[in-house]
Amino acid sequence: MKRRILVAPSILAADFSRLNREIAALEDSGADMVHIDVMDGHFVPNITIGPPVVRDIRRITKLPLDVHLMIENPSMYIEEFAKAGSDIITVHAESGRDIKGLLSRVKSLGVRAGLSLKPKSGIAMIRDYLDDIDMALIMTVEPGFGGQKFMSDMLPKIRELRGLYSGDIEVDGGIDKDSAARVINAGANVLVAGTYVFKAKDMTEAVKSLRAGGLSGRD
């Protein structure tokens, strides 16, 4: 089945001193979603943003907000992020919490639910929840910081997941036009890219080149 390739630039790489203009440029570029990385300094070694920033972003764009919670206790904040305007909330299987309960809570708030895996975690960790999610997210770098190099050894994991799951598979980390072709060929259809899009001379061309990876995929 041919799947539409969606591009979700990560604002982690944006210039926050001019975030309203960066978001406007994203809309003009043809991007499909805004990816928002939320980190708490515990689950991953970095601190980023919280619900107030998501709320402000919601006010200035109609693009879906793809909120990725890389936090130790997502249950404490799911409702806040939902109220702030999230369209998708993704939690990590490694959080050690009641995963089924977390996913159910997200959906009860009228938000799509995603489930993510770090690079060292196997597909077995999310296999029992595939019927409960709207999207699966495979990290293709160690989460915590942008600008890292794509981990090609994640390609077999993407293929394995695609063999089990027919929904959206998102990939996040080191995605550029070359790695985009490889992950699309492996079965991914939602591409998170930060540096490649926000630091591009032409954001529209960067988004187009990511989406075009589906026409020239290679292993």
Residues annotated catalytic, as ranges? 37, 172
Place of tokens 């939602």: 190
Q: Which sign does the torsion angle of CA 205, 27, 176, 130 carry?
A: negative
Rounded Cα distance between 23 and 86, Å, is 15
**Cα-based distances in Å from 174 to 32, 133, 152, 208:** 18, 24, 10, 17
The arrangement of strands across the sheet holding 6-9 comes to 6-9, 190-193, 168-172, 135-139, 112-117, 88-92, 65-70, 34-39
Place of tokens 């490694």: 94
